[in-house]
Amino acid sequence: MLNRRSLRIKGMQAIFAYHTAREAEYNICKQEAQEQFIPDLNSMEVQDKDELAKKRELTAKGFEILIHKGTDQLPEDISSDIMKVIKEAQQSYLNRLASNRDYLKKRMLSGITSIYDDYIKFLYIIVEIEQLIEVEKRKKNNTHNNFVKNVVINKLKNNEALEEERIRKKVAWDTDLIKAWYKEYIKPQEFFVEYDNLAKATLEDDQELVQTIYKSIIFKHDNVNDYFETLDIGWSENKPILKSMVLKTIKSIETEASEPLLMELSKNWDEDLLFLKELYDLAIDREAEYEAMIDQKSNNWEIDRVALTDKVILEMAIAEMTHFTSIPVKVTINEYIELSKLYSTPKSKQFVNGLLDVLSEDLQKEGQIKKSGRGLLDNK
């Protein structure tokens, strides 16, 4: 199932992408502004190339000041034509940022909801394999077919709720792909041959076979995983979630009378979704405020020298500590330390840990951290 750490990772990746896109948009808009003063090769009038070069330089400086410091910091003698160009560039820059922000937020949320679609699709891999084997056995007039009789697979294949989800989500696999995986990675395996040769497979045998195929092949084989990585940039984070959901459903078929239990992506989906949306928005909207806090407490380590991943992690942590009253401070700090260990530099753990400890203490003294209910558990 999807947990809060998974959500934080998705949020971190989306916010990191926003920062990266912002830097690119900044450079593009500055260049476009400078290009307004490139000599016009089609003009019949004599152009002062030195003057235009100077204007390009002043345009770049003016744009930088306008974006980073504001209109009131612009030189008073800036010419009207340069002012017009940099103002237009500023508006273009802000429009692009807003567009990127919305796009990345939607992509983040759709990437999460698609995990459930993939869960339904992954449950059908074993059904697709069973159908291939059934055809293969029929061609050889082989009536001994433990796989086709497998209780777990038949429960999945004949479950009405699962079939409804399959149709609703338009689940379909490339038959040639599944056939190749079966012939190359499953059929030659010793565990598969032993199962196929059993005189009569028990429910325990059925369970073990299906679980082994998922554990050893679908979620482990390098070539299979390489395929999924090409389709899903978040595969490394999504795989353990999918694996857990699939295996829990398989294990839920405990008797021949059992029906597969379909997993929920989250027990508190609406609450989790709101958490992620607000965390994303807070980290972007209050970046300047959080950045000032980090800069003040980072022992003369200038904010522009802090690794971008660390900066994103710290700003998310501050947003979480100050905004989400039901999450204990220690939980927040521990979670973002883990993220720094997984996604940032070797020294990030100590940096993030030390800074968040200091910030949490100061923010609590200032009354900016207020916890209630479960959020009070670890804050004494």
The per-residue pLDDT for range 199-217, each reduced to its tens digit, is 999 999 999 999 999 999 9
Burial 31-41 (b: 16+ CB within 10 A, else e): eebbebbeeee
Are 121 and 99 within one domain?
A: no
Are 152 and 177 within one domain?
A: yes
Does residue 343 contact residue 331 with C-beta atoms inside 8 Å?
no
pLDDT at 378: 65
When pLDDT is cut at 50, 70 and 90, the band that residue 282 belongs to is very high
Are 99 and 132 within one domain?
A: no
Are 119 and 219 within one domain?
A: yes
Asked whether residue 122 is assigned to any structural domain, the reply reads yes
Are 78 and 188 within one domain?
A: no
Asked whether residue 281 is assigned to any structural domain, the reply reads no
When pLDDT is cut at 50, 70 and 90, the band that residue 374 belongs to is confident
Asked whether residue 269 is assigned to any structural domain, the reply reads no
Q: What CATH number does the domain containing 328 carry?
A: 1.10.940.10
pLDDT at 122: 96
pLDDT 10s digits, 47-90 = 788 999 999 999 999 999 999 999 999 998 899 999 999 999 99
Are 313 and 367 within one domain?
A: yes
H or E segment and range at residue 109: helix 80-123
Report which of residues 112 and 41 the model is more confident about: 112
Are 86 and 18 within one domain?
A: yes
pLDDT at 373: 85
When pLDDT is cut at 50, 70 and 90, the band that residue 304 belongs to is low
pLDDT 10s digits, 318-357 = 999 999 999 999 999 999 999 999 998 888 888 899 999 9
Contacts of 206 (CB under 8 A, 6+ apart): 146, 150, 151, 152, 153
Are 191 and 205 within one domain?
A: yes
Are 221 and 144 within one domain?
A: yes
Residue that finishes a domain, picked among 114, 140, 168: 114
SS3 71: helix
Asked whether residue 183 is assigned to any structural domain, the reply reads yes
Using the predicted structure, report yes or no on whether residue 143 has a pLDDT greater than 80.
no
Interval 276-290 mean pLDDT? 97
- Our count of domains for the chain comes to 3
Using the predicted structure, report yes or no on whether residue 379 has a pLDDT greater than 60.
no
Asked whether residue 330 is assigned to any structural domain, the reply reads yes
Distance CA 10, CA 111 (A): 8
Report which of residues 41 and 285 the model is more confident about: 285
Are 131 and 227 within one domain?
A: yes
Residue that finishes a domain, picked among 84, 114, 144: 114
Using the predicted structure, report yes or no on whether residue 297 has a pLDDT greater than 90.
no
DSSP conformation letters of 262-294: PPPS-TTHHHHHHHHHHHHHHHHHTHHHHHHHH
Asked whether residue 359 is assigned to any structural domain, the reply reads yes
pLDDT at 165: 93
Does residue 251 contact residue 206 with C-beta atoms inside 8 Å?
no
When pLDDT is cut at 50, 70 and 90, the band that residue 34 belongs to is very high
Distance CA 294, CA 354 (A): 11
Q: Two tokens at 357?
A: 């400890």
Distance CA 52, CA 38 (A): 7
Cα 354 from chain centroid? Answer: 26
Q: Two tokens at 63?
A: 């744009």
Does residue 258 contact residue 206 with C-beta atoms inside 8 Å?
no
Using the predicted structure, report yes or no on whether residue 228 has a pLDDT greater than 70.
yes
Q: Give the residue numbers spanning the domain of 343.
A: 286-376
Residue that finishes a domain, picked among 114, 139, 165: 114
Query: Closest Cα to residue 63, out of 37, 98, 38, 87?
Result: 87
Asked whether residue 265 is assigned to any structural domain, the reply reads no
Interval 247-261 mean pLDDT? 95
pLDDT at 303: 60
Are 214 and 143 within one domain?
A: yes
Are 189 and 230 within one domain?
A: yes
Considering the chain, what percentage of its residues have pLDDT values greater than 70?
96
- The single-letter code of the amino acid at 312 is V
**Mean of pLDDT over the chain:** 92
Asked whether residue 278 is assigned to any structural domain, the reply reads no
